[in-house]
Amino acid sequence: MLHSKSVQTEIGGYISTLLRMHFGKGPTSVFVTIKFPFITAHIRGFLEPTEKCLLN
């Protein structure tokens, strides 16, 4: 289980860095869960206020 946590942390850091490189702004947090055969990533705090308004 310890190995799984380090992989989840590494994937979350990679996603955060990738978003920061391509959009100039990173998310507040990235939570990654691995449950075979799926990997889910919950990205928080990435939308700008204008984008939030458009979604509503």
Q: Please answer whether residues 1 and 8 qualify as being in contact, where contact means their C-beta atoms are separated by less than 8 angstroms.
A: no
Alpha-carbon span 12 to 6, nearest angstrom: 10
Q: What integer pLDDT is reported at residue 51 of this predicted model?
A: 84
Instruction: Confirm whether pTM is higher than 0.85.
Output: no
Q: What integer pLDDT is reported at residue 4 of this predicted model?
A: 62
pLDDT tens track for 24-38: 888 999 999 999 999
Q: What integer pLDDT is reported at residue 13 of this predicted model?
A: 94
> What is the SS3 assignment for 5?
helix
